[in-house]
Structure 1
Amino acid sequence: MAKIIYTHTDEAPLLATYSFLPIVSAYARTAGVEVETRDISLAGRIIAQFPERLTEEQRLDDALAELGELATQPEANIIKLPNISASIPQLKAAVKELREQGYDLPDYPENPQTDEERETRAKYDKVKGSAVNPVLREGNSDRRAPASVKNYAKAHPHRMGAWSSDSKTNVATMDDRDFRHNEKSVVLEGDDTLTIQLVGAGGETTVLKESIPVLAGEVVDATYMSASALDAFLRDQVARAKEEGVLFSAHLKATMMKVSDPIIFGHVVRAFFPDVFEQYGEQLAAAGLSANDGLGAIYAGLDGVENGAEIKAAFDAAIENGPALAMVDSDRGITNLHVPSDVIIDASMPAMIRTSGHMWNAAGEEQDTLAVIPDSSYAGVYQTVIDDCRANGAFDPATMGSVPNVGLMAKAAEEYGSHDKTFEVPTSGKVQVVDSAGNVLLEHDVEAGDIWRACQTKDAPIQDWVKLAVTRARATGVPAVFWLDETRAHDAQLIEKVRTYLADHDTEGLTIEIMDPAAATAYSLERIRRGEDTISVTGNVLRDYNTDLFPILELGTSAKMLSVVPLMNGGGLFETGAGGSAPKHVQQLVKENYLRWDSLGEFFALAASFEHLAQSTDNARAQILADTLDRATGTFLNEDRSPGRKLGTIDNRGSHFYLALYWAEELAKQTEDAELAEAFSALATRLREQEATIVEELKAVQGSPVDIGGYYRPDAEKTEAVMRPSATFNEALASLG
Structure 2
Amino acid sequence: MARIIYTHTDEAPMLATASFLPILDAFSDTAGIEVTTRDISLAGRIVAAFSDLLPEEQREADALAELGELAKTPEANIIKLPNISASVPQLKAAIAELQGQGIALPEYPDNPETDEEKDARARYDSVKGSAVNPVLREGNSDRRAPAAVKNFAKKHPHRMGEWSKDSRTSVATMDADDFRSNEQSVVMDAEDTLSIVHVAADGTETVLKPSVPVLAGEVVDSTVMRVAALETFLREQIAAAKEQGVLFSLHLKATMMKVSDPILFGHAVRAFFPTLFTQYGDVLAEAGLSPNNGLGGLLAGIDELDESVREGARAAIDQDLAAGPDLAMVNSHKGITNLHVPSDVIIDASMPAMIRTSGHMWNKDDAEQDTLAVIPDSSYAGVYSATIEDCQTNGAFDPTTMGTVPNVGLMAQKAEEYGSHDKTFEIGSDGRVEVRDSSGAALMTHEVAAGDVFRACQAKDAPIRDWVQLAVRRSRQSGMPAVFWLDETRAHDRNLIAKVEKYLAEEDTEGLDLRILSPVEATKHTLARVRAGEDTISVTGNVLRDYLTDLFPIMELGTSAKMLSVVPLMNGGGLFETGAGGSAPKHVQQLIEEDYLRWDSLGEFLALAESLRHLSRTADNARAAVLADALDRATETLLNEGKSPQRKLGSIDNRGSHFYLAMYWAQELAKQTEDAELATAFGPIAKELTDGEQTIAAELLAVQGEPADIGGYYRPDPEKTAAVMRPSATFNRILEEISAAL
TM-score range, shorter chain: over 0.9
Question: Is the Cα contact below 8 Å between 1:18 and 1:723 reproduced in 2?
Answer: yes
The residue aligned with 1:545 is 547
**Which residue is 2:285 aligned to?**
285
Equivalent position of 2:640 in the other structure: 638
Residue in 2 that maps onto 1:418: 420
Q: Structure 1 residues 280 and 417 mapped into 2: Cα distance closer, same or farther (>3 Å)? A: closer
What SS does structure 1 have at the residue aligned with 2:57? coil
Deviates more, 1:45-54 or 1:556-565: 45-54
Contact (CA 8 Å) 1:196, 1:432: kept in 2 or not?
yes
What residue in structure 1 maps to residue 476 of structure 2? Answer: 474
Q: Which residue pairs with 2:99 in the alignment?
A: 99
1:314-333 matched pairs, under 5 angstroms = 314-333=316-335
Partner SS, residue 637 of structure 1: helix
Name 1:114's counterpart in structure 2.
114
Match of 1:208 in 2: 208
Residue 178 of structure 2 corresponds to 178
What is the one-letter code of the residue matched to 1:25?
D
Equivalent position amino acid for 1:726 in 2: S
Structure 2 letter corresponding to 1:453: R
The offset of 1:110, in angstroms, is 1.1
Other-structure match for 1:273: 273
Q: Which residue of 1 aligns with 2:151?
A: 151
Corresponding position of 2:579: 577
Matched, 1:359 2:344: no
Question: Partners of 1:614 and 1:52 in 2: how far apart?
Answer: 39
Q: Where does residue 453 of structure 2 map in the other structure?
A: 451
Return the offset for 1:37.
0.1
Task: Tell me, in whole angstroms, the C-alpha distance in 2 between the residues paired with 1:207 and 1:648.
Answer: 60
Partners of 1:19 and 1:528 in 2: CA distance: 37
Q: Which residue of 2 aligns with 1:90?
A: 90
For the 8 Å contact 2:98–2:715, the answer to whether it is kept is yes
SS of match in other structure, 2:732: helix
2:8 equivalent to 1:3: no
Read off the aligned partner of 2:642 and give its amino acid letter: D
Q: Match of 1:71?
A: 71
- Residues 70-115 of structure 1: CA distance to partner in whole angstroms, max 9, x if unpaired? 0000000000000000000000000000001101101111111122
Contact 2:275/2:319 (<8 A) preserved: no
One-letter code of the match for 2:254?
A
Pair 1:292–1:417, CA change in 2 (3 A): closer
How far did residue 52 of structure 1 move? Answer: 3.2
Q: Runs of at least 4 residues of structure 1 off by over 4 A?
A: none
What SS does the aligned partner of 1:565 have?
Answer: strand
Q: How many residues align?
A: 737
The Cα shift of 1:343 comes to 0.3
CA distance in structure 1 between the aligned counterparts of 2:322 and 2:484, rounded to whole angstroms:
45
By how many angstroms is 1:415 displaced? 3.9
Q: Following the alignment from structure 1 to structure 2, what is the Cα–Cα distance between the partners of residues 314 and 182?
A: 36
Q: Name the SS of the counterpart of 2:181 in structure 1.
A: helix
Matches within 5 A, 1:491-640: 491-640=493-642
The answer on whether the counterparts of 1:134 and 1:417 sit within 8 Å (CA) in structure 2 is no
The C-alpha deviation readout for 1:472-496, integer Å capped at 9, x for no partner, is 0000111100000000000000000
User: What secondary structure is seen at the aligned counterpart in 2 of 1:559?
Assistant: coil
Cα distance, 1:208 vs. partner?
Answer: 0.2
Q: Match of 1:302, as an amino acid?
A: I
* Separation (CA, whole Å) in 1 of partners of 2:646 and 2:120: 44
CA distance in 1, matches of 2:323, 2:612: 58
Q: Which moved more, 1:231-240 or 1:104-113?
A: 104-113
Give the counterpart letter for 1:52 in structure 2: D
Kept after mapping to 1: 8 A contact 2:257/2:419: no
Partner of 2:55: 55
Q: Which residue of 1 aligns with 2:693?
A: 691
Instruction: Give the corresponding residue for 1:405.
Output: 407
Q: CA deviation at 1:240?
A: 0.2
Q: Is the 8 Å Cα contact of residues 432 and 442 (structure 1) preserved in structure 2?
A: yes
Determine the C-alpha separation between the residues in 1 that align with 2:561 and 2:222: 33
**DSSP-derived class of the 1:602 partner:** helix
Equivalent position SS for 1:181: coil
Whether the 8 Å CA contact 1:250–1:373 is kept in 2: the answer is yes
| Structure 2 counterpart of 1:735 | 737
Matching residue's letter, 1:440: A
Shift of 1:679: 1.2
Give TM-score scaled by structure 1 length.
1.00
Matched residue SS, 1:454: strand
For the Cα contact (< 8 Å) 1:565–1:572, is it kept in 2?
Answer: yes
C-alpha separation in 2, matches of 1:469 and 1:403: 13
SS of the equivalent of 1:279 reads helix
Paired amino acid for 1:295: L
SS of aligned partner of 2:334: coil
The reply to whether residue 161 of structure 1 matches residue 156 of structure 2 is no
Equivalent residues in 2 for 1:30-49, closer than 5 Å: 30-49=30-49
Query: For residues 640 and 406 of structure 1, what CA distance do their matches in structure 2 show?
Result: 31
User: Structure 1: how far apart are the matches of 2:512 and 2:410?
Assistant: 20
Counterpart secondary structure, 2:413: coil
Tell me, yes or no, if the aligned pair for 2:260 and 2:419 is still in contact at 8 Å. no
Is the 8 Å Cα contact of residues 153 and 555 (structure 1) preserved in structure 2? yes
Return the alpha-carbon distance in structure 2 between the equivalents of residues 505 and 49 of structure 1: 44
Q: Give matches, 1:425-464, under 5 Å.
A: 425-464=427-466
What is the CA deviation profile of residues 172-206 of structure 1, one whole-angstrom value per residue up to 9, with x for unaligned ones? 00000000000000000000001000011111100
Aligned counterparts of 2:519 and 2:15: Cα–Cα separation in 1: 38
Q: What is the deviation of 1:270?
A: 0.4
Q: Kindly state the Cα deviation for residue 171 of structure 1 after the two structures are TM-superposed.
A: 0.2
Shift of 1:417: 6.2
Cα shift readout 1:352-392 (whole Å, capped 9, x = no counterpart):
00000000000000000000000000000000000000000
**Cα separation, 2, equivalents of 1:672 and 1:332:** 55
Counterpart-to-counterpart distance in 1, 2:738 and 2:275:
68
Does the 8 Å CA contact 1:417/1:456 hold for their aligned counterparts? no
Cα distance in structure 2, aligned partners of 1:729 and 1:250: 46
Residue 315 of structure 2 corresponds to residue 310 of structure 1: no
Q: Distance in 2 between matches of 1:489 and 1:327?
A: 36
Q: Distance in 2 between matches of 1:707 and 1:724?
A: 13
647, 650, 658: which is aligned to 1:648?
A: 650
Question: Matches of 1:599 and 1:407 in 2, distance apart?
Answer: 23
Deviations 1:317-361 (A, max 9, x none): 211221010000111100000000000000000000000000000
Structure 1 match to 2:660: 658
Partner secondary structure for residue 180 of structure 1: coil
Match of residue 679 from structure 1: 681
- Report the AA paired with residue 107 of structure 1: E
Alpha-carbon distance between aligned partners in 2 of 1:478 and 1:241, rounded to the nearest angstrom: 41
Q: CA deviation at 1:676?
A: 0.8
Q: Which residue of 2 aligns with 1:221?
A: 221
Shift of 1:583: 0.2
2:336 matched residue in structure 1: 334
Measured in 1, the distance between the counterparts of 2:462 and 2:196 equals: 24
Once the two structures are superposed, residues 513-567 of structure 1 have per-residue CA deviations (whole angstroms, 9 ceiling, x without a partner) of: 0000000000000000000000000000000000000000000000000000000
In structure 2, what is the Cα distance between the partners aligned to 1:138 and 1:51? 26
Match of 1:194 in 2: 194
Structure 1 residue 457: Cα displacement: 0.3
Residue 180 of structure 2 aligns with an amino acid whose one-letter code is: R
Q: Distance in 1 between matches of 2:691 and 2:428?
A: 69
Q: How far did residue 284 of structure 1 move?
A: 0.5
Q: Whole-Å Cα distance in 2 between the matches of residues 13 and 299 of structure 1?
A: 31
Match of 1:348 in 2: 350
Unmatched 5+ stretches in structure 1: none
Instruction: State the identity %.
Output: 72
* Distance in 1 separating the partners of 2:107 and 2:413: 31
2:410 touches 2:540 (CA, 8 Å); kept in 1?
Answer: yes
